[in-house]
Structure 1
Amino acid sequence: MFEFLKSGGFLILPILISSIIAMAIIIERLITLRARNIIPENIIGRAHKIASSGKKPTREEVEKIRGSSLVGKVLAAGLESADSPRHIMKENLEETGRHAAHEMDRYLTTLGTVAAITPLLGLLGTVIGMIEVFSVITKMGVGSPTDLAGGISTALITTAAGISVAVPALIFHRYFKGKINDFIVRMEQEALKLIDQTSIKRTLGAGNAPKPTPPAGRPKAPRQPMRTGQ
């Protein structure tokens, strides 16, 4: 294996480093982007239960939901602004949702870059190797076909290495992107559900509020009996 990498030339080194980076990102994202870490059902149920109760959540309840997961951060932002107008609550949820989406996208730009550049590095190594082979042919003639085939084979090693790194990196990049989109859609659904719950409770609470008693008017003077003519 070492001889195989050694024969690939100096461009094998950045390809090898890129493969290590890609592997580390893939393992980290596989662990992080699990449904129980992003959208745990028990946290979603707890947030909706608090919202449907109509009571103002305590600071401890909000912080417990926020610290549980990414969807907890989004729903906690909604619970904090439950007493605010609907558009304010929606803005807070959207802002927190953008931060959550950015956090889920962490390292994926790097993974996509690895998938894009490693085939180019491999192709560059092959081009450099072929230039060297033809330079030798120009100076010393064709020589042995075996030596010529060996030189071309060595030049193609970097391309094979680059593609071997790029293919799994691209597959996992697309896989993670699709998974993140699914999580974002689910978060949006739960956020809208939370908005509707708090709006309904606010409307019902306003309808059940005691009506103010009208101010007492000035007492009417007693009516005088009509006098009849004598």
Structure 2
Amino acid sequence: MLEIVVAGGWVMGILILCSIAVIAISIERYWTLNPEKIAPKNTLGQVWNWIKNNQLDGQRLRELKQSSELGRILAAGLSNSRHGRDVMKDSIVEAANQVVHEMERYLGVLGTVASIAPLLGLLGTVLGMIKVFTAIVLEGSGNTSALAGGISEALITTAAGLCVAIPAMMLHRFYTRRVDTLVVTMEQEAVKLVDALHSERRVDVREAG
């Protein structure tokens, strides 16, 4: 393995760093973007029970805010529910924007790696072919060792670039899709809460829990 890395030249070092970044981000995002941690199913039902039993106070709101990302969004809306539907919705949107921004953290890095890894592989290919032609010019085509080294560098970096880019792209799309799904779930829960408090059609949010 070490011989392959060495044969690939300095471009392989960059690709190795990219692969480490992809693995680290994937593990971190898998742990962070756990649906049960982001949007627990019983959160809205618990909030509605507090409201019905007149138990919603500052302490409950702090607990709700710290419980999960969904709780953070609902707490922002509840804190401003007395100021009307529009103010409540604006508070929810503002909190949701912050939550979504945090959920999308590092996903841009995955997308960047997926884009640049093949280009790095192509760069290694070009550098390897330059070595081949330089060896031909200086030593002729009889020096098979020099030719093989350049061709080997070209092929190794191309393969390495693809091996890094393909998983990075798949993981980027997977986590982007997970974020989108979580955003839709939290949006639905927030809408149910707003409707229950301010809409003429009273939605029974107990079913959401």
- For normalisation by structure 2, the TM-score amounts to 0.90
1:1-230 counterparts in 2 under 5 A? Answer: 1-51=1-51, 53=52, 55=54, 57-143=56-142, 148-200=147-199
Task: Answer whether contact 2:124 2:154 (CA < 8 A) is retained.
Answer: yes
For residues 102 and 47 of structure 2, the distance between their equivalents in structure 1, rounded to whole angstroms, comes to 21
Deviation beyond 6 Å, 4+ runs, structure 1: none
For residues 164 and 179 of structure 1, the distance between their equivalents in structure 2, rounded to whole angstroms, comes to 23
Q: What secondary structure, in the 3-state scheme, does the structure 1 residue paired with 2:81 have?
A: coil
* 1:146 Cα deviation from its structure 2 partner: 7.1
* 1:1-30 CA-partner distances (Å, limit 9, x unpaired): 011100000111111111111110000001
Aligned to 2:207: none
Distance 1:146 1:7, change over 3 A: closer
For residues 15 and 136 of structure 1, the distance between their equivalents in structure 2, rounded to whole angstroms, comes to 26
* 1:142 Cα deviation from its structure 2 partner: 1.4
For residues 135 and 146 of structure 2, the distance between their equivalents in structure 1, rounded to whole angstroms, comes to 11
Q: Which runs of 5+ in 1 are unaligned?
A: 204-230
| Structure label with greater radius of gyration | 1
Instruction: Let me know the Cα RMSD of the aligned residues.
Output: 1.9
Aligned to 1:223: none
Q: Give the letter for the 1:67 counterpart.
A: Q
Q: Give the letter for the 2:127 counterpart.
A: I
* 1:144 Cα deviation from its structure 2 partner: 5.5
Task: Answer whether contact 1:57 1:79 (CA < 8 A) is retained.
Answer: no
Q: What secondary structure, in the 3-state scheme, does the structure 2 residue paired with 1:41 have?
A: coil
Task: Tell me the matched-pair count.
Answer: 201
Per residue, is there more helix in 1 or in 2?
Answer: 2
Q: What secondary structure, in the 3-state scheme, does the structure 1 residue paired with 2:82 have?
A: coil
For residues 194 and 15 of structure 1, the distance between their equivalents in structure 2, rounded to whole angstroms, comes to 48
For residues 150 and 11 of structure 1, the distance between their equivalents in structure 2, rounded to whole angstroms, comes to 15
